[in-house]
Amino acid sequence: MSDVRTPPSAVPPSWVRVYKSVARVARKLPPELCVRVIGATYHEAMYEESFRQAPRGMQVWSDVLRRKPDDWLAVDDDYLHWPTWCRDRLVRTHEVPGISAPVVLAELRAKLAAMYEQE
């Protein structure tokens, strides 16, 4: 993905739980993504149970409202119950191959390219 610019990234809380910190998650990513990690969609000031009960799409949308990025995409294999107003921002990955599945990688590249054409 080095031929496409990548926006800042928030990682899912499930990754943080597995790796025990945002920094450890970031170190598992390719260098061009590692430097873009800005945090997780969950943070300690939130009510954990409310966060866990919310659909993934609403967790991401809450993070977008909190951070107020100029533009954003979500890359996630959890596609159920996403708000209709932000489904076009979701790049749905496959559970096992993730973004390495050719159709997913192509969609991600296309959406990133479109995002940066607008600048």
How much is the pLDDT for 8? 66
pLDDT band at 72 (very low <50, low <70, confident <90, very high): confident
Dihedral sign from CA coordinates of 12, 31, 96, 100: positive
Whether residue 85 has pLDDT greater than 90: yes
Output b/e per residue, 56-71; b: 16+ Cβ within 10 A.
bbebbbbbeeeeeeee
State pLDDT tens for residues 102-114: 898 899 889 888 8
How far apart are the two ends of the chain, measured CA to CA in Å?
Answer: 19
Q: What pLDDT score does 35 carry?
A: 76
The pTM for the full model equals 0.74
Contact predicate 25/12, CB 8 Å: no
